[in-house]
Amino acid sequence: EPEVTQTPSHQVTQMGQEVILRCVPISNHLYFYWYRQILGQKVEFLVSFYNNEISEKSEIFDDQFSVERPDGSNFTLKIRSTKLEDSAMYFCASRGETSGPRNEQFFGPGTRLTVL
Amino acid sequence: AQKVTQAQTEISVVEKEDVTLDCVYETRDTTYYLFWYKQPPSGELVFLIRRNSFDEQNEISGRYSWNFQKSTSSFNFTITASQVVDSAVYFCALRGGGFKTIFGAGTRLFVKA
């Protein structure tokens, strides 16, 4: 069964460094998402991406964050200058058709980001 | 504004007991989708069910069942004859007319042998 993949599974970085988290969504999906989960807390929406542009973003998704779909398969989240509070699990998700029986989001396994 | 409330932070049961996880939601959208996800200790999010706002039929899948009631804005999840492998954090989630999905705070379920 097709699945969303994410790399790396764990990333450790120094405060102030740039990180890029990578995702390969399910191949025929149209909607792409990033969510974040700080340890022990709930899953929070960061951004959605459709038709090669951001369709919606949360207050968390400030100028330090950016997303890109550089080719037909990858979907990346960049954090320009990481802060300690960016330490979290980052989940990528993708979704297919807008309605119908298969419009749930499928989540990747997550990338755990640790900022020291 | 959209909101999902899971009032139960933690539930502890003994294996083979039935357990119900509560979920109450708020939305102004007339069309919306409700979800349950399971997050085992390994951390991934496992999709369990999706329900749209026009379909109030309850659903059963093996030991899992879901009770959707629009009148009380609730979408509760019952595990029958719980097993140790059911131990996880369970998230209820809502997607309305926009793109994002709003998650509840989660309920941590401990099933003891």
The secondary structure of B12-64 as a DSSP string is EEETT--EEE--EEE---SS-EEEEEEE-TT---EEEEEEETT----EEETTE
Within 11-70 of A, beta carbons closer than 8 Å to B belong to 31, 33, 35, 41-45, 48, 50, 55-56, 58
Model confidence at A107: pLDDT above 80: yes
Q: Which of A105, A112, A113 to mutate to test the interface with B (most CBs of B within 10 A)?
A: A105
The pLDDT tens digits for B72-83 are: 999 999 999 999
Q: Give the tokens for residue B14.
A: 């003994």
How far is B21 from B88, CA to CA, in rounded Å?
12
The pLDDT tens digits for A28-54 are: 898 999 999 999 899 999 999 998 999
Q: In this predicted structure, what is the pLDDT of residue B100?
A: 86
Q: Is the dihedral of CA A76, A77, A82, A88 positive or negative?
A: negative
Q: In this predicted structure, what is the pLDDT of residue A42?
A: 92
DSSP state of A67: E
Of B6, B1, B15, B5, whose CA–CA distance to B110 is shortest?
B15
Q: Which residues pair with B82 in a beta bridge?
A: none
Chain A residues within an 8 Å CB radius of B104 = 42
The pLDDT tens digits for A92-104 are: 999 887 665 556 7
Three-state secondary structure call for residue B2: coil
Q: Which residues pair with B87 in a beta bridge?
A: none
Q: In this predicted structure, what is the pLDDT of residue A98?
A: 62
Model confidence at B29: pLDDT above 60: yes
Report the share of chain B in percent with pLDDT over 70.
100
Residues ≥6 apart with Cβ < 8 Å to A86:
A79, A113, A115
Chain B residues within an 8 Å CB radius of A112 = 43
Report the residue from A45, A89, A103 with minimal CB separation from B100.
A45
Chain B residues within an 8 Å CB radius of A107 = 37, 44-45, 47
